Amino acid sequence: MDKLVRQDYVGDTVDLARSLVGCLLVRRYEGEVLICRITETEAYVGAIDKACHAYGYRKTQRNATMFGPPGHAYLYLIYGMHTCLNFVTNGEGEPDAVLLRGLEIVEGRDTICRLRYGKNWEELTAYQRKNFLNGPGKCCQALALDTSSDGLDLLGDDLYICRPVEGEAPPPFRIRAGKRIGIDYAEEAVDFPWRFTLEYTD
């Protein structure tokens, strides 16, 4: 697989959020390799984005990872219980990140199912299958990620992103852009079309 390098996380965060859709997220867990395709992302740009934790360059203990080098994982809790995974982008000192919102399984289905629901795929209901990895908290639960991994280097071996190569590419798809979810407080930023979703065309 074509693993992303540091420079791949440098640049316009909105463009990067779009470009990560269709890429593969690889997680090494207890000796097993879990692989999922990224199906949904959202961009957050600290300098101008009132939905961003670091809007106006406001630095806290919670969001400090966003101000560090690109290509690191920024993990935090929402509602005190669900972990969200973000990929730090742009450049050091520019607090931007791409939020992971959705995945689909490529490899390691049984382990991912056990982490998510405590049972195998064949035991899941139709509702559970439909809503398996369609949310940031669900994705982190299914990959055994929590805030202890905040700051993890995405160039390491525990968690990283790859571009699909020949034989791994998904069926033809398009990327839909739309408004982000759950940011009603963010004034004009509510309308930024910075959410990107994979949609198969066949």
Phi, psi of 26 (to 5 degrees): -110, 130
Tokens of 78: 């929402």
DSSP assignment of 68-116 equals S-SSBEEEEEETTTEEEEEEEESSTTS-EEEEEEEEEEEE-HHHHHHHH
- Of 195, 167, 169, 201, the C-alpha closest to 183 is 195
Tokens of 156: 């390491």
- What are the CA-CA distances from residue 117 to residues 28, 109, 120 (Å)? 19, 12, 8
Local structure of 150: helix, strand or coil? coil
**Rounded distance between C-alpha atoms, residue 9 and residue 35, angstroms:** 20
Least confident of 27-36, 88-97, 164-173: 164-173
Query: Per the CATH hierarchy, to which homologous superfamily does domain 2-200 belong?
Result: Methylpurine-DNA glycosylase (MPG) (3.10.300.10)
CB atoms inside a 10 Å sphere around CB 150: 19
Query: What is the pLDDT, as a whole number, of residue 10?
Result: 97
25-77 residue pLDDT tens: 999 999 999 999 999 999 999 999 999 999 999 999 999 999 999 999 999 99
Query: What is the pLDDT, as a whole number, of residue 170?
Result: 79
8 A C-beta contact, residue 140 and residue 103: no
pLDDT exceeds cutoff 80 at 169: no
The single-letter DSSP state of residue 129 is H
CB atoms inside a 10 Å sphere around CB 139: 27
pTM score above 0.85:
yes
96-147 residue pLDDT tens: 999 999 999 999 999 999 999 999 999 999 999 999 999 999 999 999 999 9
List the domain boundaries for the chain. Answer: 2-200
